[in-house]
Amino acid sequence: MKAVGTPDLSGAQQEGIHANTIERLDREEFEGDRDREAGAFDNEHAALIREIQRVRPVGEIRRTEARFSNLAHRWHRETDHLSVISQKVLHPAYQQMIGLGPDAVPLILHELLVRPGHWSWALNAITGEDPVLDDQGGFGAVRESWLNWGREHGLLRNDE
């Protein structure tokens, strides 16, 4: 099984890299280096997410993308007419997208870019971040804050 960006590694080597990366994430999450500055941690965390995505088998990434796409389509279809935000974010499809974890973050950011929606709740739940400095600018300000966060963390290109 070939992974994105690592065509010369065997399946066992890819699994070893993936397991080591997950172990490293877990160790950092639970041990927490308190001396590390928040900005440095954020950059390293984004790099680890990219590393996991880089070594994941292509088929697994495509399955996640397809699952997300189906859930997002269902969520929009069943909630776009609703005006109460809590009904939108508590919808089962939305909750399942959150359940996809960090793999969903670039997909959500892209969705936010091309088809704005109430994605802030999901992004916050998955990342633990809240880049919105001032929500008095309304939905547009919240959207831009998250898109800028995605660019800063290398999850969106600067031209997006």
The 10s digit of each residue's pLDDT in 109-130 is 999 999 988 999 999 999 999 9
Q: Is pLDDT of 49 > 70?
A: no
Report residue 44: phi and psi, to 5°. -70, -40
Placement of tokens 């919808």 in the chain: 91
Residue 87: both structure tokens together: 């009904």
Q: Is pLDDT of 18 > 50?
A: yes
Distance from C-alpha of 41 to C-alpha of 139, rounded to nearest angstrom: 28
Find the radius of gyration of the CA atoms of the chain: 17
The answer to pTM > 0.85 is: no
Instruction: Find the angle CA(108)-CA(134)-CA(50) to the nearest 5 degrees.
Output: 30
Mean predicted confidence (pLDDT) in 20-26: 55
The total number of residues shown for the chain amounts to: 160
**The predicted structure's pLDDT at residue 30:** 47
**The predicted structure's pLDDT at residue 54:** 64
Mean predicted confidence (pLDDT) in 139-159: 89
Mean residue pLDDT across the chain: 77
The 10s digit of each residue's pLDDT in 58-74 is 677 789 999 999 999 99
Mean predicted confidence (pLDDT) in 70-97: 96
